[in-house]
Chains A and B, each alone.
Chain A
Amino acid sequence: MTAVEVANLSVHYGPLRAVDDVSFGAAFGEVTAVLGPNGAGKTSTIETCEGFRRPTSGAVRVLGLDPWAQRTTLHREVGVMLQDGGVYPSARVGETVAQYCRLYNRGMSPTELVDRVGLGARVRSTWRRLSGGEKQRLSLALALAAKPRVAFLDEPTSGVDVNGRDDVRGIIRDLAADGCAVILATHELDEAERVADRVVLFSRGKIVADSTLANLRSARTTVRFRSSTTLDTAALARHIGLDVSANDDEFMVSFTATDSSMASDLVSRISVWLGSNALPLHDLNVGGERLEDIFRMLTKGQGS
Chain B
Amino acid sequence: MSALRSQIDAELSLVRRNGEQLLVTLGIPLLLLGFFGSVDILPTNTDDPIDFLVPGILALAVMSTSMVSLGIATGFERSYLVLKRLAATPLGTGRLIAAKTIAVACVEAAQMVLLVALGLALGWSPESANWLLALAAVVVGTFAFAGIGLALAGNLRGEVNLAASNGLYLVLLLLGGLLFPLERLPAILEAVGRATPTHALADILADSLMSAGRHTGTSWLVLGAWAIAMPAVAARTFRWN
Residue positions of A touching B, CB distance < 8 A: 50-52, 71-72, 75-76, 78, 80, 82, 84-91, 95, 99-100, 102-105, 142, 146
Contact = CB atoms under 8 A, between A and B. Distances in A.
Contact of B90 (A82, A104, A142): A104
Nearest to B79: A85
B17 interface: yes
Interface stretch (B4-12, B32-40, B128-136): B4-12
B82 A76 contact: no
A87 B80 contact: yes
B82 A86 contact: yes
29 contacts: A52-B84, A52-B88, A52-B241, A71-B87, A72-B92, A75-B88, A75-B90, A76-B90, A80-B85, A80-B88, A82-B85, A84-B81, A85-B85, A86-B80, A86-B81, A86-B82, A86-B84, A86-B85, A88-B14, A88-B80, A91-B14, A99-B7, A102-B6, A103-B3, A103-B7, A103-B89, A103-B90, A104-B90, A146-B89
B80 A105 contact: no
B89 A90 contact: no
A90 B2 CA distance: 23
A85 B81 CA distance: 6
Contacts, number: 72
Nearest to A84: B81
Contacts of A90: 14, 17-18
B77 interface: yes
Question: Dominant SS at the A interface?
Answer: loop
10 tightest Cβ-Cβ pairs between the two chains A and B? A85-B81, A86-B85, A102-B6, A80-B88, A76-B90, A72-B92, A103-B89, A86-B81, A103-B3, A105-B2
Contacts of A76: 90
